[in-house]
């Protein structure tokens, strides 16, 4: 039996470094796709596994991402929307919400953390409207 939740938190191992806007803008579209495709596959698998026995309430959501780096350095969190956008697109394809317009999806600037576990943390919360 499914349990309805208002927040879903899950993680998956990052297949490579999150793609920054700076790097994305200088890449050929095919290279960009090769870089991002494993991210889309892994979020699909992690979301599917996380929702086997739970389902989110229907409604607008706020999606948060935390990317992990092995070493400390100067990074602009908002620069990683080049990775966030394809991940949200994948969640829309999984029918989390009808589309990724502001009516259905909001997201904060990605969080960055330093750790050895190489995990991308995902939080999906039902938005209070």
pLDDT single digits (tens) 47-56:
999 887 666 6
pLDDT single digits (tens) 52-74:
766 665 788 999 999 999 999 89
* Tally of domains in the chain: 1
pTM value is 0.88
Residues 122 and 10 sit within 8 Å (Cβ to Cβ): yes
Domain residues for the domain of 115 are 3-126
pLDDT tens-digit profile, the chain (129 residues): 445 458 889 999 999 999 999 999 999 999 999 999 999 999 999 999 988 766 665 788 999 999 999 999 899 999 999 999 999 999 999 888 889 999 999 998 999 999 999 999 999 988 876
- How far apart CA 96 and CA 61 sit, in angstroms, is 9
- How far apart CA 34 and CA 66 sit, in angstroms, is 21
Q: Residue 114: CB partners within 8 Å, gap ≥ 6?
A: 68, 69, 70, 71, 72
CATH code at position 67: 3.30.1330.70
């Amino acid at each position: 039996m499914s349990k309805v939740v208002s927040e879903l938190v899950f993680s998956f191992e990052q297949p490579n470094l999150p793609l920054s806007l700076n790097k994305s803008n200088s890449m050929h579209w095919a290279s960009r796709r090769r870089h991002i495709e494993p991210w889309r596959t892994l979020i699909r698998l992690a979301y599917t596994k996380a929702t086997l026995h739970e389902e989110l309430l229907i409604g607008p959501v706020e999606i948060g991402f935390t990317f992990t780096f092995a070493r400390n350095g100067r990074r602009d969190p908002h620069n990683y929307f080049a990775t966030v956008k394809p991940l949200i697109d994948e969640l829309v394809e999984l029918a989390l919400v009808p589309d990724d317009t502001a009516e259905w999806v909001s997201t904060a600037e990605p969080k960055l953390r330093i750790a050895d576990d190489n995990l991308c943390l995902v939080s999906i919360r039902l938005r209070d409207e």
